[in-house]
Amino acid sequence: MAKLIVYNFISLNGYFKGANEDISWAKPGSNEEKDFAASSLKARNILLFGRVTYEMMKSYWPTEAAAKDAPEVAEGMNMAEKIVFSRSLKKADWNNTRIVKDNIEEEIKKLKQGDKDLTVLGSGTIVNLFTNKGLVDEYQIMIHPVALREGTPLLNDIGKKLDLDLADTKTFRSGVVLHRYRPSKK
């Protein structure tokens, strides 16, 4: 059975995006972090996006700049199977992408019956939706050593308290710390 993983980065004070959707503060960092991202993509998980995150990712990863800056990550992003959840997007023209417009919860339940794990990148609205429906198996949160004056907190629209157990941590030389959490079974 496949797992649904949320992978997101946040500022030290809990924002996953700054004012006006800004994410420039979350620098790609060192080669160590790029190697980690490339290694994660080798798992061949299905990548899940909301429309806003999809459009942002599509505007960068298929470009020459991405191929030059992080070739292994760009290759993994471009080759991965991708699903974008959107009622307004008319077409998905990034390689290996399909759109799901309705029955999102049912689609996730069906995909979780398969053998490929699912990874949500960014996409705060669907992260909140999947959290509220109890569909998330693991949260992978990269905490960047920066505090923002304003922004949007991660998990800002959950319906009830969410207890999590720490499964693992990884510290990068840049000061970024990855925390892996799983919903508490207690």
Q: What is the pLDDT of residues 150-169, one digit of tens each?
A: 999 999 999 889 999 999 99
* Contacts for 178 with CB less than 8 Å, ≥ 6 apart: 36, 140, 141, 142, 143, 168, 169, 170, 171, 172
pLDDT (0 to 100) of residue 138: 97
Where in the sequence is the domain holding 175, given as residue range(s)? 4-183
Look at residue 94 and tell me whether its pLDDT is greater than 80. Answer: yes
Q: Which residue has the tokens 């946040």?
A: 10
Q: What angle do CA 86, 90, 93 make, to 5 degrees?
A: 95
Say which residue, 27 or 122, is predicted with more confidence. Answer: 122
Average pLDDT for 69-83:
91
Look at residue 34 and tell me whether its pLDDT is greater than 80. Answer: no
Per-residue confidence band for 122, with pLDDT thresholds at 50, 70 and 90: confident
How does DSSP classify residue 72? H
pLDDT (0 to 100) of residue 23: 84
The total number of structural domains that make up the chain: 1
Per-residue confidence band for 83, with pLDDT thresholds at 50, 70 and 90: very high
Nearest to 76 by CA among 110, 99, 47, 116: 47
pLDDT (0 to 100) of residue 147: 94
Per-residue confidence band for 41, with pLDDT thresholds at 50, 70 and 90: confident
Look at residue 20 and tell me whether its pLDDT is greater than 70. Answer: yes
Q: Which residue has the tokens 């892996």?
A: 180
Average pLDDT taken over every residue of the chain: 91
CATH number at residue 12: 3.40.430.10
Cα distances (angstroms) measured from residue 166 to each of 15, 19, 61, 176, 179 = 20, 29, 31, 17, 7
